Amino acid sequence: MNKQAKPRLLSGDTSTGRLHLGHYVGSIENRVKMQDEYDCYFLIANIQAMTTRMDRPAEVHENVMEVMLDYLAAGIDPKKSTIFVQSEIPAIAELTVFFSLLVPYPRLMRNPTIKDEIRDKGLGENYSVGFLLYPISQAADILSVRAEVVPVGEDQAPHLELTREVARRFNQAYCGVDSHAEDTQQIALGGLFPVPEIKLGRTRRLVGIGAPDAEGNLQKMSKSLNNAIFLSDDPDTVKKKVMAMYTDPNRLKATDKGTVENNPLWVFHDTFNPDKVWVEEAKERYRVGTIGDVECKRRLIEVLTAVIEPMRLRRLEYAKDLHQLKNILQEGTAKANAAANTTLLLAKEAMRQRYF
Ligand code: ATP
Ligand code: MG
């Protein structure tokens, strides 16, 4: 199959920090696996990062390079995939403006991920217009390359639903596609945009290593919540984080009965430990109080180190050549610009707003 014939895939990350295990199982792992079958575009969303960090531009800039290093460390291959930076693609900004006309304002405010972020990131009443606009900008990210599939974690599902609505509305309003057309038929019926599919990871929402929130729910692992194990953490850091990890608070000694449910220790074993037999036996012993937290945590440290250490070492290699890193980003950005400019032109033609 030649590269042009492959369906396109887009996913991305905000440059708000380094990538962690939640990103890995939620999205990155799938991206690495899908690189051969799809024409992949991976976007580093620096403008989206600035929606909550407008006062920290240097940090956002630095984190673009950190995310890029994490991509390469995790196995994203720049020879196969296109890595690019959001603010260098003017067509995305233009599409955001046009798409914003297709989205009713109350529809944006009902988005549960936006509500969660306002709460979790402590934005209070101080979020900007640009922050509320970011799901539309994300629709523009995805549709700028006319991606057909988007590998993301569960928190992104409401955003992807909005993107799917924007694609349908655009196709109906400007391309003559019937409002009852099936999603899979939009292109065949003359639509410009495919209605992209979500591809969830094997763990849709990995929890963090911290205690539950006020309502008793474990929070998702997040760069912004200080509860993450990073793909770049060294073995000593992994050990310290696991040893300090939240477990069953009612279990004071190894002979107390323990609860496995809603306990990060067991979420992590379930997600990352390949030895399923040990995990099931150890859970049973944990429930009846015949195995200690420390033994289970030691096992977890080994498991996580085996996942993270090869990535960390690859990262150190790539970090030696920042010039090469910048080249990869620049070449990827040029390729993404070409794709997005073509889309923008077609969109303007469809909207009868191409004048020259
Ligand atoms: P921030 O706290 O700045 O929002 P984040 O940790 O939520 O950062 P994003 O850049 O918003 O990371 O998310 C990038 C991708 O990783 C998205 O596809 C998102 O769904 C996925 N993802 C992030 N955290 C998790 C998690 N804990 N479990 C599964 N997927 C996740
Ligand atoms: Mg997020």
Model confidence over 97-139: pLDDT tens digits? Answer: 999 999 999 999 899 999 988 988 889 988 999 999 999 999 9
CB 74 near ligand 1, within 6 Å: no
Residue 246 covered by a domain: yes
CB 263 near ligand 1, within 6 Å: no
**Cα of 172 to ligand 1 centre, how many Å?**
32
Among candidate residues 248, 261, 262, the one with its CA nearest the CA of residue 293 = 248
Residue 176 covered by a domain: yes
- Find the mean pLDDT for residues 292-310: 97
Whether the pLDDT of residue 36 is over 60: the answer is yes
Same domain, 147 and 192: yes
Sign of torsion, CA 289 293 296 299?
Answer: negative
Q: Over the stretch 318-353, which tens digit does the pLDDT of each residue have? A: 999 999 999 999 999 999 999 999 999 999 999 999
Same domain, 118 and 265: no
User: What confidence category does residue 247 fall into, taking pLDDT thresholds of 50, 70 and 90?
Assistant: very high
Same domain, 188 and 104: yes
Spatial strand order in the sheet of 197-200: 82-85, 39-45, 8-14, 149-152, 197-200
* Mean pLDDT score across all residues of the chain: 95
Q: What percent of the chain has pLDDT over 70?
A: 99
CA gap 181, 37 in Å, rounded: 27
**Cα of 161 to ligand 1 centre, how many Å?**
17
CA dihedral 146, 150, 154, 156 (to 10 degrees): -30
- Find the mean pLDDT for residues 294-308: 97
- Find the mean pLDDT for residues 303-311: 98
Predicted confidence at residue 3, as pLDDT, reads: 46
Predicted confidence at residue 254, as pLDDT, reads: 83
Same domain, 73 and 179: yes
Pocket test residue of 15, 27, 68, 205 for ligand 1, highest count of atoms within 8 A of CB: 27
CB 270 near ligand 1, within 6 Å: no
Same domain, 248 and 346: no
Give strand pairing partners of 83. 42
Question: What does the block give as tokens for 204?
Answer: 């849709």
Same domain, 254 and 303: yes
Whether the pLDDT of residue 165 is over 90: the answer is yes
Residue 206 covered by a domain: no
Predicted confidence at residue 19, as pLDDT, reads: 97
Q: What percent of the chain has pLDDT over 90?
A: 89
Same domain, 33 and 172: yes
Same domain, 162 and 282: no
Task: Name the closest-CA residue to atom 26, ligand 1.
Answer: 22
- The pTM of the full predicted model, rounded to 2 decimals, is 0.94
Q: Over the stretch 174-215, which tens digit does the pLDDT of each residue have? A: 999 999 999 999 999 999 999 999 999 999 999 999 999 888
Same domain, 73 and 147: yes
Q: Over the stretch 44-67, which tens digit does the pLDDT of each residue have? A: 999 999 999 999 999 999 999 999
Same domain, 59 and 147: yes
| 138, 108 Cβ separation under 8 angstroms | no
Q: Helix/strand/coil (H, E, C) string of the chain?
A: CCHHHCCEEEEEEECCCCCEHHHHHHHHHHHHHHCCCCEEEEEEEHHHHHCCCCCCHHHHHHHHHHHHHHHHHHCCCCCCCEEEEHHHCHHHHHHHHHHHCCCCHHHHHCCHHHHHHHHHCCCCCCCCHHHHHHHHHHHHHHHHCCCCEEEECHHHHHHHHHHHHHHHHHHHHHHCCCCCCCHHHCCCCCCCCCCCEEEECCCCCCECCCCCCCCCCCCECCHHHCCCCECCCCHHHHHHHHHCCCCCCCCCCCCCCCCCCCCHHHHHHHHHCCCHHHHHHHHHHHHHCCCCHHHHHHHHHHHHHHHHHHHHHHHHHHHCCHHHHHHHHHHHHHHHHHHHHHHHHHHHHHCCCCCC
Q: What CATH code is carried by the domain that includes residue 114?
A: 3.40.50.620
| 63, 15 Cβ separation under 8 angstroms | yes
Domain count along the chain: 2
Largest CA distance in the chain: 78
| 304, 264 Cβ separation under 8 angstroms | no
Question: What does the block give as tokens for 56?
Answer: 């920290």
Q: Which of 125-134, 172-181, 236-245, 279-288 has the lowest mean pLDDT?
A: 125-134
Rg (CA), the chain: 22
Residue 213 covered by a domain: no
Q: Helix/strand/coil (H, E, C) string of 231-244?
A: CCCCHHHHHHHHHC
Residue 108 covered by a domain: yes
Atom number, ligand 1, closest to the C-alpha of residue 208: 27
Predicted confidence at residue 4, as pLDDT, reads: 56
**Cα of 21 to ligand 1 centre, how many Å?**
10
Question: What does the block give as tokens for 156?
Answer: 């992104």
Range of the domain at 159: 8-201+322-350
CA gap 74, 97 in Å, rounded: 34
Residue 355 covered by a domain: no
**Cα of 231 to ligand 1 centre, how many Å?**
13
Same domain, 168 and 242: no
Q: What CATH code is carried by the domain that includes residue 281?
A: 1.10.240.10
| 60, 50 Cβ separation under 8 angstroms | yes
CA gap 324, 206 in Å, rounded: 33
Residue 170 covered by a domain: yes
Same domain, 48 and 180: yes
CB 12 near ligand 1, within 6 Å: no
CB 221 near ligand 1, within 6 Å: yes
Residue 175 covered by a domain: yes
